Structure 1
Amino acid sequence: MNLLSRMSRRRLLAAAAPLVLLAACATPALQDTAPPPIVFVHGNGDSAALWQTTLWRFESNGWPRERLHAIDLPYPLARNDDTKPQPGRTSTAEHMAFLRAEVEKVLKTTGASQVVLVGNSRGGNAIRNYIQNGGGAATVSHAILGGTPNHGVQAIKGFNEGSEFSGTGPFLTALNAPKNMAGDEVTGPVHWMTIRSDANDKFAQPDGRWIGLAGKPTFVTSEGPALSGALNVVIPRIDHRETSFSAQAFDATWLFITGRPSTTRIRPEERPRLSGKVTGLGVDSRDPATGSFSNNLPLPGAELAIYAVDPRTGERRGAAPTYRTTVGANGRWGPFEADSQTPYEFVVAAPGYATTHIYRSPFPRGSEIVHLRPERIAEADRGAAALVTMTRPRGYLDPARDRMALDGAPPPGVPAGAGVASAKLKLPTAAPRPVAAEFNGERVVGRPWPAAEGHVTVLELTY
């Protein structure tokens, strides 16, 4: 049994109990010969790239690739106060307008009359806003919200109520207003489902530890993502991002949409074709103290080289890259025909950034959302000979739950609970050697590069 099969089996067994209950509540099986298009909406500060494994699982169950659409909000971070313009951030109205335009494009391209919307975290806010206030009740058949803070990350009266994540603020108060005599918080005739953790979502906690209010009550519980009138699914031990990107979340989503069981196994392709976008980091010039913030804008002129590497050592297989390009105005790169058994090193170089060496596991299937972002070296890290970051974009690192290591030791700076998604090593030497990131059976091996010459290493986990 290969790595993907072992991981999928463990996750499927863990999710079996809640999914038995879900099967009785799933919407009727779809009868159309052409499945409806699905639009995937990422969360706060994230990108379409996080849906990669979810798309692979849909494809592995027969969903046509051309009817799966993961969108990129150009400025994915929410404003601190939704009513006040803020450079590099979007309001709830802007977020909803972008989603509506994307849905209209998908409907026009596919000829479908309705779409399915699947959102993670803040993406669910845009979905709810679009369905309730933007005409989406007519164009959306199903809405699936993973980890969306539907009742806020905090519900403290009078505290930061301008934020879209305030449970007592005007945005969520309006969305949660009862829609009928039963007190439903969802807008019909859409079929609604929420997915949440039992107690492991950092943004659905009674204590404000993860939102800068340690020791103070948030007046939010693990039930915060649930909505009256929706099918509310609870999957034990998953974290905030796993409410959307885990195998268990896919299983629940597929069953809800189709009424049929699925496989969570990712079926490999012989020659996967990869492509994506190179994006950068913005800086708020009016408040430099805030530092960099993520965006999904293209980074024209960035140079990308891809090397096949040895899975045991991270060493390049040959001096020449297997692919090289300079990205144009749209930031796109590819396609690159990969080998499904080979791990790769993606090297991204751009003015104003560190040359970033991103090591990834083999790609079992093709993807058009292999997005890449070069890093910047923080002032606090400039004394290190080499910098190696272990990162898990589709989930968090939980020492109490996960088996993990970075360079053979527990990842530094990872506290108890599923609250951080990365760990960084500051090495005293940049001597070439293997450095491994290990997480629940996945192992990514890279090499350190000299920070003094403007290089950093990223070991990016896929699962």
Structure 2
Amino acid sequence: MPRRRRICLILAVLATAAACSGSASQRASGADPGTFAREIARPAAPPDAARLPILFVPGNLGSGDQFGVQAQRFTSNGYPADRIAAFDYDASDPEPPAERIFTGLDTEIARLLTLSGRKAVDLVGQAEGADLAVRYLASTPARAARVAHLVSVAGPQPAGPPRGVRTLAVWGIGDPTRRIAGAQNARFPTDDRGELLASTGTFKQMYQFLTGEQPFTTEVTDQAGPIELGGRVVLYPANAGGGPARLELYRVDPRTGRRLASGLRSFVNLPPDGTFGPLRADGTASYEFAVIHPGEPVQHFYYQPFRRSDRLIRLLTSKPAEEIGGGMTASPRQTNLVVSRGQEWQGDQSRTSDQLTVDGHGVLNPANTPRSKLTLRVFLFDQGADGVTDLAAPLPFYFAVGFVTGADLFIPAGDRSVAVTMTPRGVAAGRTTVQVPAWPSSTDRISVRFRDDTF
């Protein structure tokens, strides 16, 4: 790495550390975090225009936001945010039509090459997405020539790197003998597929493989100044475009989840493919996205502060008659929640189970979130609208869906806030709470998305 760039990065990391220390003091004093953000800059690594674009391909029932935390780690190390993209396809089909997907990959790679002025991209695939990436490269020499590196996370075992494209294979839990001959193979034998994709260990392997250098940081560092938010509204799990619709972005009070006075920051009339952004935002603030389809319930999405620009946001929506698991019971008396993150929820580990509480009620247990379920999304609602909570067994129509579970939890709707608290792997230091308004489920749906770098 050139000496000048190395010095710049060291100074950026030191400045970030100093700013984070100041941030903790500011929170303790109760000062307005927005004021603090204006007073103290928190620089990140300077963008490096020489970096190749990175394109992520998710696995079955996945979407582009699963690569979000890794994208932010890359940008914390100097990757331009607009050069990291994700390719969405119909991930509800276990055997999607390959050639249609390959044509879509052609288009997205061409876009990234035009944007960056580079001659090749780096391709990252997870599980079934890695299998598609391998088959894509093997399909024609011209396609392989536009890809400099392949990273396969929990993917297949081809006989060797497809058409000689340099390959890193990252393996998690399972058969310890898996490998791709002629590729670089890295192993994290205790990680399930979601955790493997989001881990700092995988990031370090990817960064070194793609750049030939060690990263300066494996953290998501705070970005100085305004950030940009972008992505897609999609119909889950087909990942079809969620437009046309209206998308509204609100700044909310983190203590209640309620919209601040004059809190509307942006609004967008979504095109059919659901793309939006970049929208200007503040990395220290809490936000709500609201997706409005005429005649349908409003779908609200609540996030922890983003900290950095994020171009891989995926707002997973559904039509009322096409909801996964058959649809949640709706009633003006109750609030319905969908809580998600990119690493699996585990409710059956003796000492390291995740804890997810809603208004103080623990909802995860060995029955509804065993480790083997690989749960990423938890659907919480009052089955039958009887006002009774029953967490003894999972809701079968949700538990039968891959990476999803459901629990019968009565959450009263009304003029109040609901506290949704995650304690990852039972570690109290990582405990995080997102407050949301208790919207009635007859007119409103709520999703909460926790960050993946809180472990």
TM-score for the superposition, normalised by structure 1: 0.70
The answer to whether residue 444 in structure 2 is matched with residue 455 in structure 1 is: yes
1:228 matched to 2:188? The reply is: no
Match of 1:381 among 329, 347, 350: 329
User: 2:421 maps to what in 1?
Assistant: 437
Which of 120, 131, 152 is residue 145 of structure 1 equivalent to?
Answer: 152
After superposing the two structures, state which structure 1 stretch, 309-318 or 342-351, moved more: 309-318
Distance 1:428 1:369 in 2: 30
Which secondary structure does the structure 1 equivalent of 2:311 belong to?
A: coil
2:271 aligns with 328
Tell me how far 1:361 sits from its aligned partner: 0.4
DSSP-derived class of the 1:372 partner? strand
> Which AA in structure 1 matches 2:435?
V
2:363 maps to amino acid: P
Pair 1:241–1:352, CA change in 2 (3 A): farther
- Report what 1:268 is aligned to: 222
CA distance in 2, matches of 1:39, 1:113: 14
TM-score w.r.t. structure 2 length? 0.71
**Is the 8 Å Cα contact of residues 39 and 116 (structure 1) preserved in structure 2?**
yes
Shift of the 41–433 alpha-carbon distance from structure 1 to 2, 3 Å rule, reads same
CA contact (8 A) 1:313 1:445 kept: yes
Counting only pairs closer than 5 Å after superposition, residues 15-414 of structure 1 correspond to structure 2 as 34-73=50-89, 75-79=90-94, 82=95, 90-135=96-141, 136-148=143-155, 150=156, 176=158, 184-199=159-174, 221=175, 226-262=179-215, 263-269=217-223, 270-281=225-236, 293-300=237-244, 302-318=245-261, 320-351=263-294, 353-375=296-318, 376=320, 378-379=326-327, 381-382=329-330, 385-392=334-341, 394-399=342-347, 400=349, 401-407=352-358, 408-412=360-364, 414=368
Select which of 418, 421, 427 maps to 2:376.
421
Structure 2 gaps, min length 5: 1-16, 22-47, 382-409, 425-429
Structure 1 residues 380 and 365, CA, compared in 2 at 3 Å: closer, same or farther?
A: closer
Aligned residues: 359
Match for 1:461: what amino acid?
F
Inter-partner Cα distance in structure 2 for 1:416 and 1:305: 36
The 2-side partners of 1:311 and 1:122 are apart by: 37
1:174-198 Cα offsets, whole Å, 9 max, x none, are xx3xxxxxxx433353221111213
The SS at the match of 1:185 is: coil
Cα distance change, pair 146–455 in 1 and its aligned pair in 2 (3 A): same
Say if 1:223 and 1:351 are closer, same or farther in 2 by CA, change over 3 A. Answer: farther
2:81–2:310 contact (8 Å) kept in structure 1: no
Any conservation in 1 of the 2:240–2:273 contact (CA below 8 Å)? no
**CA displacement 1:233-263 (0-9 Å, x = unmatched):** 1124322123223322211100112222111
Matched AA of 2:148: S
The residue identity in structure 1 corresponding to 2:117 is G
Structure 1, 104-113 or 427-436: larger mean CA deviation: 104-113
* Structure 1 runs not aligned, ≥5 long: 6-31, 83-89, 152-175, 177-183, 200-220, 282-292
RMSD: 2.9
2:8: which partner in 1?
none
* 1:341 Cα offset (Å): 1.3
1:435 positional shift: 2.0
Maintained 8 Å contact 2:250/2:259: yes
What is the identity percentage for the equivalent residue pairs of Structure 1 and Structure 2?
Answer: 24
Distance 1:314 1:65, change over 3 A: closer
Tell me which amino acid in the other structure corresponds to 2:240: N
CA contact (8 A) 1:343 1:360 kept: yes
Equivalents in 2 of 1:106, 1:317: separation in Å?
37
Measure how far apart 1:409 and its partner are. 3.5
Distance change (3 Å), C-alpha of 1:234 and 1:423: same
Q: Select the structure that is richer in strand.
A: 2
* Structure with more helix by fraction: 2
- Is the contact between residue 417 and residue 435 of structure 2 (CA under 8 Å) also seen in structure 1? no
Counterpart of 2:10 in structure 1 is: none
SS in structure 2 of the partner of residue 421 of structure 1: strand
Aligned-partner SS, 2:309: coil
